[in-house]
Structure 1
């Protein structure tokens, strides 16, 4: 099988331990001005990539376009990747119940809570893994609610050719302004649609700057108003949105992050090594927001990430 060459990712952040460079994170980052112009770009920002969970706002928009009655916390969790805390489970169950469904109708994998506190409580109480705990269960509940609203089948809602997934494709292309480059299977089993970093940034920016009261704008507004439903306790998305009111932050697996300010300034990041420890993408994204002229003082400490040694700070990860 012919292999597609990797994009020309560039150095974005360095890891410095005790005064010596230990490693480098490569990737790509793009920043859009309020007018939609590319004002900051490093690396292959036009090459296709999988936005992973950073694409959930587009999936949530498709739910609304299908007629799902989602708003406030239910809309935020439908566009989120939650910890599996009790209030997340309650919200996902409520969305399902309102649609006449239950957790048995979810097609995402069974999982355990992702947040440290929620996982500790889970283990202490001897609970069993369930699709409800899976970080995408809010999204799946919203998808099912959309299918019920349209009278579409719910058993095969993850099929790429299902009417709902075709609506997701249409909404994604509509917002991002480009055709889907490739379709894959995401970690939760839903179709994952490849766009460029520029497309990802333009997609969220388009939603933020849509007319007040529109379905498009309601998704990022719900996310910024209810950050704990987008992520959860001790999560970077929640922290950034709480500390910088009006900001929308959505992390995606394998090194992706998209950030959007109320005036439309938007940044999308891809760290090529996956950034498993979440130590590079945030500082790269915040650096890009600062380069766009945004006042990032409430989250300026996120311009670096501490490196520990023996329980003490001995270095940092910082932008290049």
Structure 2
């Protein structure tokens, strides 16, 4: 199987109609809590680098070691361990609080420096006289959790992003056990924040989120999954930020949906009440195609009532405007989910 056309962009005048200009292919997997494939688009087992959609599960070794209780981390701080935050004050204060509790400072973070995502997503211009630190990087919450694991286990804090570090070994083995795959079958790459990232079939990522949404009811990782899911759904604004899609999906879900985006157009969502996990990958990595695709999946699965449609309308068929603000086209879905009789790769 191969990715299929999922989303198109159009261009045209109102009186002559819109013509498709670009097509973005991709794949979709929808599974139940047992990992059984229910619906698919394209290749539901497409090998996919999980990127930031992996963040909750990269926190598992710390959670399983009772790290939050040992350091007195709050639920809000646990949400930041799973975050691709926007660098707003509440995000920076939360990450700094974690670092204070483990006795370290932002200089120990090995994620690099980056302009806060707040400016990209709100359209505000970043101040010209401001310099950025690793604290502002959208992955600084995840990295503070990495450092917390190191402090908890007496491991070196320097070089914690290296694949050979004990932390990364713990993450890799815990993840492999969670997805039921040999670790050597999960290709490893370097993520944008310098930490190792892993590829897996899209259906496996969907299954992780089906389980995460069940929280403490997960038979394998119940308590840890419960802490992570509760934190993410309680504070989606900390997991993402102003004008961000994960905030929109989880707000619309009202505590029933847990969502995490990944770079290069990866999205995973778990639906607790329906017992579903959803994973989507746009093959060319273009994020503008991802959000209408997510809306389309939620709609086709019957998960959008009138209130949710109203909240998520901006993502259904986003307009394309030129520099003058003139409507030039839109972004629209092309796919129909197909029932899938098989139960996995």
Query: Above 0.5 in TM-score?
Result: yes
Q: Kindly report which structure 2 residues correspond to 1:29-68, keeping only aligned pairs within 5 A, or say none.
A: 29-34=28-33, 36-68=35-67
Q: Label 1:290 to 1:35 Cα distance change in 2 as closer, same or farther (>3 A).
A: farther
Task: Output the CA distance in 1 between the equivalents of 2:156 and 2:60.
Answer: 19
Task: Output the CA distance in 1 between the equivalents of 2:329 and 2:130.
Answer: 39
Cα deviation for residue 17 of structure 1 reads: 1.8
Q: Label 1:202 to 1:34 Cα distance change in 2 as closer, same or farther (>3 A).
A: closer
What SS does the aligned partner of 1:282 have? helix
Task: Output the CA distance in 2 between the equivalents of 1:174 and 1:231.
Answer: 27
Q: TM-score, normalised by structure 1?
A: 0.90
What SS does the aligned partner of 1:203 have? helix
Cα deviation for residue 296 of structure 1 reads: 4.9
Structure 2 unaligned blocks of 5 or more: 13-17, 335-345
Task: Output the CA distance in 2 between the equivalents of 1:131 and 1:163.
Answer: 22
Task: Output the CA distance in 1 between the equivalents of 2:301 and 2:123.
Answer: 38
Cα deviation for residue 118 of structure 1 reads: 8.4
Q: Label 1:147 to 1:100 Cα distance change in 2 as closer, same or farther (>3 A).
A: same
Aligned to 1:305: 318
Task: Output the CA distance in 1 between the equivalents of 2:47 and 2:37.
Answer: 17
What SS does the aligned partner of 2:241 have? coil
Cα deviation for residue 248 of structure 1 reads: 1.4
Cα deviation for residue 129 of structure 1 reads: 1.6
Query: Bigger CA drift: 27-36 or 51-60?
Result: 27-36
Q: Retained in 1: the 8 A contact 2:149–2:167?
A: yes
Report whether the alignment pairs 1:231 with 2:240: yes
What SS does the aligned partner of 1:54 have? helix
Q: Kindly report which structure 2 residues correspond to 1:65-84, keeping only aligned pairs within 5 A, or say none.
A: 65-69=64-68, 70-84=73-87
Aligned to 1:123: 127
1:247-283 CA distance string (max 9 Å, x none):
21211001111111122322111111111xx322122
Task: Output the CA distance in 2 between the equivalents of 1:71 and 1:165.
Answer: 24
Q: Kindly report which structure 2 residues correspond to 1:1-320, keeping only aligned pairs within 5 A, or say none.
A: 8-18=2-12, 19-34=18-33, 36-69=35-68, 70-116=73-119, 123=127, 126-179=129-182, 180-212=185-217, 214-246=223-255, 247-263=257-273, 264-275=275-286, 278-297=287-306, 298-299=308-309, 301=313, 302-309=315-322, 310-320=324-334
Q: Label 1:261 to 1:155 Cα distance change in 2 as closer, same or farther (>3 A).
A: same
Aligned to 1:3: none
Structure 1 unaligned blocks of 5 or more: 1-6
Task: Output the CA distance in 1 between the equivalents of 2:158 and 2:77.
Answer: 22
1:232-255 CA distance string (max 9 Å, x none):
111111122123212212110011
Q: Label 1:123 to 1:183 Cα distance change in 2 as closer, same or farther (>3 A).
A: same
Cα deviation for residue 14 of structure 1 reads: 1.2
Task: Output the CA distance in 2 between the equivalents of 1:136 and 1:240.
Answer: 20
What SS does the aligned partner of 2:227 have? helix
Query: Bigger CA drift: 50-59 or 291-300?
Result: 291-300
Task: Output the CA distance in 2 between the equivalents of 1:205 and 1:266.
Answer: 4
What SS does the aligned partner of 1:123 have? coil
Cα deviation for residue 122 of structure 1 reads: 5.2
Q: How many equivalent pairs are there?
A: 311
1:110-141 CA distance string (max 9 Å, x none):
122121288958516x2212100111001000
Runs of at least 4 residues of structure 1 off by over 4 A? 117-122
Q: Label 1:54 to 1:228 Cα distance change in 2 as closer, same or farther (>3 A).
A: same
Task: Output the CA distance in 1 between the equivalents of 2:206 and 2:176.
Answer: 12
Task: Output the CA distance in 2 between the equivalents of 1:50 and 1:174.
Answer: 18
Cα deviation for residue 210 of structure 1 reads: 4.3
Q: TM-score, normalised by structure 2?
A: 0.84
Task: Output the CA distance in 1 between the equivalents of 2:198 and 2:169.
Answer: 11
